[in-house]
């Protein structure tokens, strides 16, 4: 990478200034907005002076002055842009009127998503009613609307009024739990509300963005074509996701299978899907490749068709990113044939972050740009390492090299966010990507044919349905293979950065053949090993007890070293999504090698000893020198022991204890831990009783998980 390369990528050189401005606004925010605006305008004026009187600054030694000006201008511009796009800082945000609010008016900003007992939708608040009347406001909330005949009719753009007061999103209440509050914050959502039947009314329809409303309407009609052709079940869910970006029908089992096989990326319309469409359209318009004006016509047609596809897939963030990137590639090729792909990638990222700076915090944004960068940077070198004469084998090797490059660029983030690695990703992608490509083309042909050519459409529908069934079968087969997924690998952000610097150093070494970069990568690898050994030493001596906050459920985890016992309700153990969201991330973080799960109803007769620190005997727990009793399904203890048993704490679950006097007749304890399976009304009652008797009381539902550790 010489000077010639950096001259070809001006936007790549500007990208660090953009990223620093956004990240400073997100994490530091030490410069007031008015000051940042003043500095930005001052930099614009000074930079304009340089441009107007450039002949006085044409000296080569002074070129850095204008460059520094432009870097600082971008920094402050994106800094201000990020703060201006932060909803919680908006002076017109409805949050200042929540306490005195009597009613709200807003419109649905997306199609409602079906949940078990409700329909989830993002609502943009436009008006709030206080004691002085209605006033205009702004802000988003996440609403869970009770499922009934009225809510089933709601769709994007419908305006509703409701009286329930939105509550601030709560932070994580369990150790190492996914920070949903932070996730919603970067989507400009700070409040949530539950709307029961009768607490809201529909006012009118057809509000919101007309383009998005049109896109959703078109997608509904296209989905109806699939249904009309008899495609249903998992095949309908996967086909809809592959071709139209409609993922609401995909169940947890399907998601798990695609994730474990390393093929999760095909289930959401993204860069790969738009790329497939782009390749197909380019092939169809091949006759316009010769001649200046023909190339311009081809580019215009490609842009129109690509954005038509982007619109009908619902204008999701992922497909918008892909469409924008493809747009810059098309425009770049139209303007000049030797456009540097890194410059195109950088300018598309800068452009998208100008509209939404918080995109940088989205996992999909990070993964998509890393995958594309890895393919562009690493894949050519990997592909050249093996020369294959046979065209079919060469195509297989090329696809394999693409998978390897993309996986190498994204696996650190996969470990950070998902704590897992699909071991058979090469094998699955060799089958899934070509098969998904055929299904995408077939699905689009089916949509275009519709009901116009019934005799042909039926056979296309049968073929597409069969191929989609085969895709699901292949993915499920790979998932069930031994060691299909390596899970439980927990790394932090610092370790993620170290891994990426190691990868970057190796890439520089390969590209520049400079031994310096190899030494850097080896030194960092040794440093990473030292971090890992330090973590292992800490894990081997750790002891922790956690009473988790899982609404309506009991979950108690006892950990010693790499061994752990989880006592939980059968409903929780059978609910994989709830277990993953609330508990599994902490299990991975603790580095647990052996986890024994015990159903709380089966505690009677259980006798388990783990090393010297944990001993479980029925409802009694002896942990690290402390003694606990689990009051589980014990109505009221009517007999009185001759001598009270001394415990450090009693853990109350469900509705087993209505009055702590029944416990005090048989136990002496200084702390009562109220599990999240205890109803709120009973929890408050027990807290009041503890206050009267000077006994410490910890409510897991109110305060979050109860944790004791060494």
Asked whether the predicted pLDDT for residue 564 surpasses 60, the reply is yes
For residue 459, the model assigns a pLDDT of: 86
Residues 175, 555: Cα–Cα separation, whole Å: 13
Asked whether the predicted pLDDT for residue 495 surpasses 60, the reply is yes
Mean pLDDT of 366-390: 85
Residues 182, 169: Cα–Cα separation, whole Å: 9
Mean pLDDT of 347-370: 87
Average pLDDT of the chain to the nearest whole number: 85
pTM for this predicted structure: 0.84
For residue 299, the model assigns a pLDDT of: 83
Asked whether the predicted pLDDT for residue 170 surpasses 60, the reply is yes
Mean pLDDT of 412-430: 86
Asked whether the predicted pLDDT for residue 317 surpasses 80, the reply is no
Mean pLDDT of 213-236: 87
- 571-607 per-position pLDDT tens digit: 898 888 889 889 999 999 998 888 888 888 777 766 7
For residue 638, the model assigns a pLDDT of: 46
Quote the percentage of the chain above a pLDDT of 70: 92
CA 331 to centroid of chain Cα atoms: 31
For residue 206, the model assigns a pLDDT of: 77
Task: Look at the block and give the residue holding tokens 């989609």.
Answer: 468
Considering only CA atoms, give the Rg of the chain: 29
For residue 108, the model assigns a pLDDT of: 93
Mean pLDDT of 468-492: 88
**pLDDT confidence bin for 70, thresholds 50/70/90:** confident
Sequence-ordered alpha helix ranges (H) in 117-251 = 180-185, 210-228, 233-244
Mean pLDDT of 604-633: 79
- Two tokens at 73? 């201008």
Identify the CA nearest to 383 among candidates 402, 406, 370, 411: 402
- Two tokens at 443? 């699905």
Q: Which of 255-269, 409-423, 673-687 has the lowest mean pLDDT?
A: 255-269
Quote the percentage of the chain above a pLDDT of 90: 26
For residue 549, the model assigns a pLDDT of: 95
Mean pLDDT of 474-496: 87
For residue 636, the model assigns a pLDDT of: 43
- Two tokens at 491? 């790394």
Identify the CA nearest to 445 among candidates 434, 457, 431, 436: 457
Q: Which of 22-36, 612-626, 639-653 has the lowest mean pLDDT?
A: 639-653
Q: Is 257 exposed, middle or buried (0-12, 13-18, 19+ CB in 10 A)?
A: buried
Identify the CA nearest to 199 among candidates 130, 146, 121, 157: 146
For residue 547, the model assigns a pLDDT of: 95
For residue 637, the model assigns a pLDDT of: 45
Mean pLDDT of 69-96: 88
Q: How far is CA 257 from CA 160, 226, 245, 470, in A?
A: 38, 23, 18, 14
- 697-708 per-position pLDDT tens digit: 999 999 999 999
- Selected residue with higher pLDDT from 429 and 652: 652
Mean pLDDT of 494-505: 92
- Two tokens at 698? 């910890």
- 624-650 per-position pLDDT tens digit: 888 999 987 654 444 445 577 888 999
DSSP letter at 92? T
Identify the CA nearest to 93 among candidates 131, 130, 124: 124
Asked whether the predicted pLDDT for residue 120 surpasses 90, the reply is yes
**pLDDT confidence bin for 676, thresholds 50/70/90:** very high
Grouping H, G, I as helix, E, B as strand and the rest as coil, residue 477 is: helix
CB proximity list for 281: less than 8 A, separation 6 or greater: 301, 302, 305, 306
For residue 52, the model assigns a pLDDT of: 67
Phi and psi dihedrals of 283, rounded to 5?
Answer: -65, -40
């Amino acid at each position: 990478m010489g000077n010639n390369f950096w001259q070809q990528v001006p936007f790549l050189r500007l990208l660090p200034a953009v990223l620093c401005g956004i990240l400073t606004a997100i994490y530091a925010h030490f410069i007031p907005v008015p000051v940042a605006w003043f500095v930005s305008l001052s930099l614009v004026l000074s930079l304009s002076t340089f441009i107007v009187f450039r002949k006085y600054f044409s000296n080569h030694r002074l070129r850095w002055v204008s460059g520094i000006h432009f870097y600082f201008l971008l920094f402050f511009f994106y800094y201000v842009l990020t703060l201006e796009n932060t909803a919680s800082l908006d002076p017109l945000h409805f949050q200042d009127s929540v306490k005195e609010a009597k009613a709200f008016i807003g419109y649905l900003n997306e199609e409602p998503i079906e949940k078990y007992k409700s329909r989830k939708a993002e609502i943009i608040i436009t008006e709030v009613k206080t004691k002085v009347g209605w006033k205009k406001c702004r802000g988003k909330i996440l609403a869970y609307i009770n499922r009934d005949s009225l809510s089933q009719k709601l769709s994007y753009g419908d305006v509703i009024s409701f009286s329930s007061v939105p509550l601030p999103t709560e932070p994580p209440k369990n150790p190492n739990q996914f920070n949903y509050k932070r996730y919603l914050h970067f989507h400009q959502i700070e409040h949530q509300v539950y709307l029961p039947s009768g607490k809201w009314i529909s006012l009118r329809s057809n509000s919101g963005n007309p383009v998005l409303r049109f896109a959703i309407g078109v997608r509904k009609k296209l989905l109806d074509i699939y249904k009309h052709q008899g495609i249903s079940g998992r095949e309908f869910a996967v086909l809809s996701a592959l071709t139209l970006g409609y993922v609401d029908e995909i169940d947890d089992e399907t998601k798990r299978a695609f994730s474990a096989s390393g093929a999760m990326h095909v289930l959401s319309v993204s860069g790969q899907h738009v790329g497939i469409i782009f390749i197909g359209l380019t092939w169809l318009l091949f006759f316009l490749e010769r001649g200046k004006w023909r190339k311009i016509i081809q580019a215009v047609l490609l842009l129109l068709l690509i954005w038509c596809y982007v619109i009908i897939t619902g204008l999701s963030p992922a497909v918008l990113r892909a469409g924008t990137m493809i747009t810059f590639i098309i425009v770049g090729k139209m303007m000049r044939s030797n456009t540097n792909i890194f410059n195109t990638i950088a300018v598309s990222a800068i452009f998208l972050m100008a509209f939404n700076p918080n995109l940088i915090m989205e996992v999909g944004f990070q993964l998509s740009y890393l995958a594309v960068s890895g393919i562009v940077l690493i894949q050519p070198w990997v592909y050249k390492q093996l020369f294959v004469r046979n065209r079919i084998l060469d195509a297989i090797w090329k696809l394999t090299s693409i998978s390897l490059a993309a996986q190498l660029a994204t696996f650190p983030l996969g470990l950070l966010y998902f704590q897992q690695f699909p071991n058979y990703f090469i094998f699955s992608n060799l089958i899934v990507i070509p098969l998904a490509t055929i299904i995408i083309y077939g699905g689009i042909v089916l949509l275009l044919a519709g009901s116009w050519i019934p005799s042909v459409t039926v056979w296309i529908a049968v073929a597409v349905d069969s191929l989609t069934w085969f895709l699901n079968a292949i993915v499920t087969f790979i998932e069930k293979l031994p060691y299909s997924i390596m899970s439980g690998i927990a790394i932090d952000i610092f370790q993620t950065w170290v891994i990426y610097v190691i990868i970057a150093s190796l890439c520089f070494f390969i590209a520049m053949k400079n031994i310096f970069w190899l030494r850097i990568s080896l030194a960092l690898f040794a440093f990473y090993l030292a971090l890992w050994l330090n973590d292992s030493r800490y894990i081997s001596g750790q002891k922790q007890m956690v009473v988790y906050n899982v609404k309506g459920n009991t979950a108690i985890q006892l950990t010693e070293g790499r061994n752990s016992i989880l006592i939980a309700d059968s409903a929780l153990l059978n609910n994989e999504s709830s277990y993953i969201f609330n508990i599994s991330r902490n299990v991975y973080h603790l580095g647990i090698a052996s986890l024994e799960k015990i159903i709380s109803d089966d505690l009677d007769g259980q006798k388990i000893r783990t090393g010297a620190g944990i001993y479980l005997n029925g409802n009694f727990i002896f942990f690290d020198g402390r003694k606990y009793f689990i009051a589980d399904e014990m109505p009221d203890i009517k007999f009185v022991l001759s001598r009270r048993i001394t415990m450090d704490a009693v853990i109350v679950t469900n509705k087993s204890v209505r009055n702590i006097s029944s416990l005090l007749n048989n136990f002496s304890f200084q702390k009562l831990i109220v599990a999240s399976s205890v109803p709120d009304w009973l929890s408050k009652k027990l807290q009041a009783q503890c206050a009267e008797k000077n006994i410490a009381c910890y409510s897991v539902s109110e305060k979050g998980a109860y944790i004791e550790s060494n």
